[in-house]
Amino acid sequence: MFMIKFIDLFSGIGGFRVAFESVGATCIFSAEIDKYACETYQKNFGDNPLCDVSKLKANELPNFDILCAGFPCQPFSLAGKRKGFDDTRGTLFFDIEKVISEKQPKVFILENVKGLVNHDKGRTLKVILTTLKSKLNYNVFYKVLNSKDYGVPQNRERIYIIGFKEHNIKFEFPEKIEKKIDLSAIRENNLNECNISEIAKFNIEKHLKLHKKYEDIKSNPLLLAYEVRKSRCAFRFDNLSPTLTAKMGTGGNNVPIFVNEMRKFTTKECLRIQGFPESYKITPNTAQSYKQIGNSVSVPVVTLLAQEIIKHL
């Protein structure tokens, strides 16, 4: 079997790389502009991907079979201002287009937030698909997948866009996995770290008492609080994590909290929720680490997609 080579654009901390290397592909080039994410990437893969994708000279890239790109989602995200292509980050899609056009890979896989589907009444996605199908002449498939349906204890909806140079390929997205995994599988026990402030505790208690079954709810060891504010506090009762986001790096109240322990998720728990291997290294419990994990892909989902992609190569 020939060596399947891929490049990892907007690589973050390497979620795509972990997934594709696990199915036997080889990464030959990575690019990431965030210096802190690059430090984490280097700890785990031994090379520093520091590079501005918008300044890449596509003709100087080595030849590869698969292009992976979780291109910046903020322009299309409900958590951002949703400026789309009016935001300079949104135009980075067209930098991906230049690389695909120049290098003509056998396959590409792109990942973004679900908000891309309806952004600007669907026109943004239409521009992307038209570019990939009509201009670049790829056989394109796309679908919104939720990580919770694929063995990940997290409610995380993302769109995956996959294109093949070969037009006879009939790609199928993976079926949902019946086996459900909840937060008990990722939780670290007996921790005395990641404690929250007294103000946050007060606000959680205040909002909890609004529920009729307050005592029963509080006794649930997997009950989560998040988006904790004086006027607002959200809870999850389904043993799943809410979507981990880059906002976790902006303050303690944006990191999900185990209510019965009154502590934030640790970065180890967040890595497990995203499906990274136990051996993965990251600086523990810092704002930058939380941000990096929130920006990443769910590794098990991408692994399933990678397995299906590899079948066609």
Take residue 252 and report the two structure tokens written for it. Answer: 């303690």
CA atoms of 113 and 60, how far apart (whole Å) = 30
CA distances from 43 to 14, 46, 93 (A): 11, 6, 28
3-state secondary structure of 158: strand
Catalytic pick among 27, 38, 68, 73: 73
Residue in 49, 81, 44, 89 with CA at minimum distance from that of residue 68: 49
Known active-site residue 73? yes
Question: Rounded to 10 degrees, what is the CA torsion of 89, 80, 265, 305?
Answer: -50
- Phi, then psi, of 48 in degrees rounded to 5: -100, 115
Residue in 129, 88, 124, 257 with CA at minimum distance from that of residue 183: 257
User: Do residues 287 and 4 touch, judged by C-beta distance below 8 A?
Assistant: no
Catalytic positions, please? 73
